[in-house]
Amino acid sequence: MRQTTTASARVLVLGAGVAGLTTAIALARRGIPVDVLEQDRTPAPRGRREAGGWYRDSVPQAGQGHVFSPHCYRLLADELPDVLARLLELGARELAMGGSGEAAGALPAEGFGLAVRRPVFDWVLRRVAEREPGVRVHGGLPATGLQISGGQLSGVLVRGGVVATELAVDATGGSGPVSGWLDDLGQRAGSIRLAVPREDPDTAPARAGADHYTRCYALHWRDDPGPLNLGLAAGGEYGGYSCRLVPADNHTFTVTFTVPAGALGDPARPGRPEPADPTPAGLVEPGLAGLCTPEGFQAAARRLPLIADWVDPGVAEPLTGVTTLTVSPARRGRAEDVMRLPGLVPVGDALHAGDPSWCSGVAVALASALACARAVRARRDTDIAGAEAAAHGAAVWTEVWAEAARVAGKAACASARLPGPSARDLAVWLTGSVPASVG
């Protein structure tokens, strides 16, 4: 493989999340130098003890439980074995896919998944990138716009000037600023989203937008107290909401309640509205506002089959309060939308922001980033110019889209309807168990 590393060959990666850092590492290991522009100026923690609490405003989903599927495991083992080895050294666990689950719709066994908290995963990836020859991570230096010359990308705007480049990778996420920049430049053809959410009544809240409420726990001993009926997770869909438990590194786990967006109402007013009060649009069970509090969250989790045994105070203790995340409905687009600006390629959530219930976000980030690195190397190895180069560029970027679409179409976690309290039952219990003064 021919590898050139001239200064003019540097690629700019916008964003230092999973997709951005994976792209940067993979490009550098193919002989292509990279500058990563990251808006967050917060330095990475120095050690692994602090890594578990490394949350950034630019990655609000980091506090949620993440399923690292067998596809993630295989990509790491094949392409980034040093990252996988370091994660295992730091306490990440290999989980056999399928576990002991017998739920309807459970996924077949296909190798190992990885149990690790998202902040720990991000920290290891960041440390590897910072030590990688050919990668420079610029914290606190966000991109502010794009420069076009001759109908293609010629540079990226930053504070104080323009960084010239013929290639930039958009890893700013599904709500990143790049779409707006393209609108301003008249380059945006339409939304770039990939997969149609699976037709399953249980995922309707995710399709309509959802609120996620998560808490992290630590087990008092090594043995898991219950089965993982969803393959790499436990729990499922109850009446009007879902709850999922995801094992993680160092005997930790996360529990996440998911309810339709707006169902919790105003956290400052727990309990049902007075009859004279109009019910806000979209308010399903205002009593569920108790999930926002540690007391309410614990009380609800203790009442759910497959979850209660894990959160028993004699089995585990909470490590965090309740973190919240609101997710917009999944969107999708067409392959031809990818090549809306020659010289700019999206990866990860910038390419696909799908249904969170599929748990495929990290897999899509890794797969699209690695496909991007392969495509860029192939383009650099092909001595073409002019219109032929543009056509070739469009083809390789479409390969990135195709790889992401293939991964996004596979759910990383099973789905199951389970017996248990309905949303109304849970709301009644929470209204009685959470003090009115707790907001």
Going by C-alpha positions, the residue among 160, 134, 156 that lies closest to residue 143 is 156
Please list, residue by residue across 384-410, b when 16 or more beta carbons sit within 10 angstroms of its beta carbon and e when fewer do: eeeeeebebbeebbebbbebbbebbee
The total number of residues shown for the chain amounts to: 439
Judge if 24 and 171 occupy the same domain: yes
Judge if 323 and 334 occupy the same domain: no
Going by C-alpha positions, the residue among 114, 351, 145, 365 that lies closest to residue 246 is 114
Residue 327, phi then psi, degrees to nearest 5: -115, 130
CATH number at residue 269: 3.30.9
Look at residue 1 and tell me if it is in a domain. no
Q: Tell me the residue type at 283.
A: L
Look at residue 108 and tell me if it is in a domain. no
Going by C-alpha positions, the residue among 285, 251, 264 that lies closest to residue 92 is 251
Judge if 160 and 294 occupy the same domain: no
CB 212 within 8 A of CB 359: no
Residue 45, phi then psi, degrees to nearest 5: -55, 155
Pairing relation of β-strands 34-38 and 11-14? parallel
Look at residue 346 and tell me if it is in a domain. yes
Q: Is 36 helix (H, G, I), strand (E, B) or coil?
A: strand
Look at residue 101 and tell me if it is in a domain. no
Residue 273, domain extent: 201-328+415-433
Look at residue 45 and tell me if it is in a domain. yes
Count CB atoms within 10 A of the CB of residue 86: 17
Judge if 171 and 219 occupy the same domain: no
Sign of CA dihedral 73, 79, 359, 91: positive
Per-residue pLDDT of the chain (439 residues; tens, 9 = 90+): 233 333 446 899 999 999 999 999 999 999 999 999 999 887 777 777 777 777 776 676 777 788 898 989 999 999 999 999 999 999 999 998 754 433 334 444 467 899 999 999 999 999 999 999 999 999 999 999 999 988 888 999 998 789 999 899 999 987 788 888 887 887 654 433 333 333 443 444 444 567 889 999 999 988 889 999 988 999 998 888 899 999 999 999 999 998 876 554 444 333 333 333 333 333 345 667 788 899 999 999 999 989 999 999 999 999 999 988 877 655 544 444 445 688 898 898 888 766 666 667 898 899 999 999 998 888 877 755 555 555 555 565 677 767 777 776 666 677 788 888 888 888 888 876 544 433 3
Judge if 241 and 280 occupy the same domain: yes
Q: Tell me if the pTM is above 0.85.
A: no
Judge if 216 and 283 occupy the same domain: yes
Q: Based on the structure, what is the number of domains in the chain?
A: 2
Judge if 19 and 56 occupy the same domain: yes
Count CB atoms within 10 A of the CB of residue 142: 19
Judge if 317 and 260 occupy the same domain: yes
Q: How many CA atoms lie within 13 A of 375 on its CB side?
A: 27
Look at residue 70 and tell me if it is in a domain. yes
pLDDT in tens, 344-385: 988 988 887 666 666 678 988 999 999 999 988 888 777 555
Judge if 132 and 221 occupy the same domain: no
In angstroms, the CA 259 to CA 251 distance is 27
In angstroms, the CA 167 to CA 194 distance is 23
Q: How many CA atoms lie within 13 A of 275 on its CB side?
A: 0
CATH number at residue 336: 3.50.50.60
Look up tokens 């200064």; give the residue.
7
Judge if 67 and 38 occupy the same domain: yes
In angstroms, the CA 438 to CA 298 distance is 14
The tokens describing 382, both together, are 């092909």
Judge if 125 and 176 occupy the same domain: yes
Judge if 51 and 154 occupy the same domain: yes
In angstroms, the CA 286 to CA 273 distance is 7
